[in-house]
Structure 1
Amino acid sequence: MTSTVNSNTNNITTHLLTLCPTAYKSATEHPFLTAAATNTLPTALLLQWLLQDRHYALTYISFIGALLSKLTIPTTSNRLSTLSWKIANTLIFSLNNIKAELALFDKVLIEEFGWTESGEVEVLPITRAYRDMFAGAGSGKASLLEGMVVLWATERCYFDAWGFAKRSSGGDKSSTTGEEKERKSDVMTRIFIPNWTSEEFEEFVDTLEELVNGIVKDEGVEHNFRQETTVTCVAPKMPQASPLSSILIGSEIHDHIDLN
């Protein structure tokens, strides 16, 4: 699936995506994605990755809450047409969506992997790096624009990556057989990849892009933002638990995050 995001080269989002194309391609066309799309991931690796991605999703809740706290909700009669309300509406939608996604993670992990929620899941370094990135982007020192850029960038990368996986599937089947094939190794193509390449998710990513560009236009900060923006292009040596990387895009106040 190819995103329908606005191709206007004057948009700050388009500008940001042009700054490190090699790293972006590496992040969104990683061999892990091909393995996921062809049901050839070892079960232990797949379980480990799903547990880490579940933790990533849990950190998302606090991040969205922090972004909501930065908004001033208008009380005027035209509230629904204001940028602030459109941002709030989208963030609330994302919270509802992540609630459903967490329920999906739990269902798959419990029913197909026999996972139990007793005990803590070890959070690996790259997952902590994402958690720290969200904490920084949602902190009091970060602006709403900076936080929204990070939200859009991670979601855009995620959508593009799983879109690549979907295109890579080619109808291939796992070499495993029986219960192993039915209940474990094909969960990505059967459940998660369709979810992460859906039209609804694509529309969400496009909406985030429109909102980011809307904030830049509304605040009249595009020139300064272009001048001050620094981009961390992440194309790490993928650790087993987190084979999907992201482009982390933020302003100069964001710390460099080394995910190698």
Structure 2
Amino acid sequence: MTTQGPLTAYLLASTPDALTRATTHPFLAAAGRGTLPKPLLSQWLSQDRLYAQSYIRYIGLLLAKIRLPAQNSSTAVKQPTSEQKAINVLIDALVNIRTELAFFEKTAEDHALDLTAITAEEGACALTSCGNGSYITTSSGISTSGSGSCPGFTGGNTDIAGPMSTENTTGHALCVSQGECQMPSGSDMCVPSEFNTQPVSDDAFAASRARTPAPEAVRGGIQTGLERSGTLFFCASRTTRAYIDMFMSAGSTGVSVMEGMAVLWATEVCYLRSWRYAARCMRENGNKNGGGDYSGDADGGALRGKFIDNWSSVEFEGFVNQIGDVLDEMAGQIKGAEESEIMRGRCLEWWRQIVWLEEKFWPELV
């Protein structure tokens, strides 16, 4: 297969079917038609905000990779190098994501959207302290560096000897119940030490589950005192964790700056194309209320009144194109046909992974 021409064009043409699935998902069509339920939008936004937070760390990792040439004594005006252009783009990315997170918060507040909503997939994500019979959904930071900092065993087998044995599970109730450590960042334990393991009344349990999804163990008919008294813990979904892991991998020392820029461009171009599709659905559907009033939408107008315009704007398109231009310039500077083919192959692998993640990131409509 020939790979002549700009790298960005090559990547876009490499997986046409997968790219279409990722950027024309039914979730996006419902968003454009104003029929996306508020709870489902909240669940997606809560995960997208976690993605945005990990994006900041990823940009920092890319910036740390770039080595600018030392200044010389020449006073001649020189064109910026591709590395200097990359730095400018990455700084813009940080500014943009800071603005984006503030935009998330403001729009969520205006439209009563829950940025700690728990997805159906992660309904049994974790259990936290319920104190003296209280039942609340708890929001907390998560560790994006994995569970390596946790001293507990992450296999969930309580019959083995060691830190996760049945005699030493204090502070690792989550590991026991879930089979995977999800220790909150800044914490020394998976769950607070005061976790209440006492059973609660059936009436109180039913009332709590009316406000939070039931864990898988409860839905399967197994109700331990730990599960019955616990509340659900907000965390990254499996797909979000996979995206975060991908960012950390792409930002590692063994990955080139060019590959890192390819990852950045791929995530942004998929996002732009996705919301351009939602904008097209929005235009085709029209506005029954007339004017700019979308308060009658299922989500109260957050998407069609605020989010879609922002994520499909000409300004955002310009930013995506700027990243693509830097990436293509870097690819064009590679010496030798064999080296160029190797690098394009590496970028293609990143591209395929991102397109797959993008499709999985959209919640399924029920």
The TM-score bracket by the shorter chain reads 0.7 to 0.9
Q: Within the alignment, does 1:96 sit opposite 2:95 as a pair?
A: yes
1:99 CA drift (Å): 0.1
Q: Identity of paired residues, percent?
A: 36
Indicate if the aligned counterparts of 1:41 and 1:185 stay in contact, CA closer than 8 A: no
Alignment of 1:71-86 (within 5 A): 71-74=66-69, 75-76=71-72, 78=77, 81-86=80-85
Q: In the superposition, relative to structure 1, how do residues 174 and 149 fare at CA in structure 2: closer, same or farther (>3 Å)?
A: farther
Indicate if the aligned counterparts of 2:47 and 2:240 stay in contact, CA closer than 8 A: yes
Could you tell me the TM-score, scaled by structure 2's length? 0.58
Q: Within the alignment, does 1:213 sit opposite 2:208 as a pair?
A: no
Aligned residue number for residue 232 of structure 1? 352
Measured in 1, the distance between the counterparts of 2:18 and 2:115 equals: 37
Q: Aligned match of 2:22 in 15, 22, 27?
A: 27
| Larger Rg over CA atoms | 2
Describe the superposition over 1:195-252 as per-residue Cα deviations: whole angstroms up to 9, x where unpaired: 111111101111111111111122334232235543526457966xx3179xxxxxxx
CA root-mean-square deviation: 2.9
Aligned residue number for residue 196 of structure 1? 311
Aligned letter for 2:340? E
Aligned residue number for residue 139 of structure 2? 119
Q: Within the alignment, does 1:59 sit opposite 2:54 as a pair?
A: yes
Measured in 1, the distance between the counterparts of 2:303 and 2:78 equals: 41
Q: Within the alignment, does 1:43 sit opposite 2:42 as a pair?
A: no
Could you tell me the TM-score, scaled by structure 1's length? 0.80
Indicate if the aligned counterparts of 1:30 and 1:244 stay in contact, CA closer than 8 A: no
Moved more, 140-149 or 75-84: 75-84
1:110 CA drift (Å): 2.4
Unaligned regions of 5+ residues in structure 1, if any? 1-7, 246-260
Aligned residue number for residue 258 of structure 2? 145
Measured in 2, the distance between the counterparts of 1:9 and 1:244 equals: 36
Q: In the superposition, relative to structure 1, how do residues 146 and 184 fare at CA in structure 2: closer, same or farther (>3 Å)?
A: same
Q: In the superposition, relative to structure 1, how do residues 90 and 236 fare at CA in structure 2: closer, same or farther (>3 Å)?
A: closer
Indicate if the aligned counterparts of 1:37 and 1:188 stay in contact, CA closer than 8 A: yes
Measured in 1, the distance between the counterparts of 2:304 and 2:20 equals: 21
Describe the superposition over 1:81-138 as per-residue Cα deviations: whole angstroms up to 9, x where unpaired: 2211111011001100000000010112223216487722321111111111111111
Describe the superposition over 1:135-171 as per-residue Cα deviations: whole angstroms up to 9, x where unpaired: 1111111110111101001101111111111111124
- Count of residue correspondences: 234
Q: Which runs of structure 1 show a deviation greater than 4 angstroms over 4 or more consecutive aligned residues? A: 76-80, 114-118, 233-239
Unaligned regions of 5+ residues in structure 2, if any? 117-137, 141-233
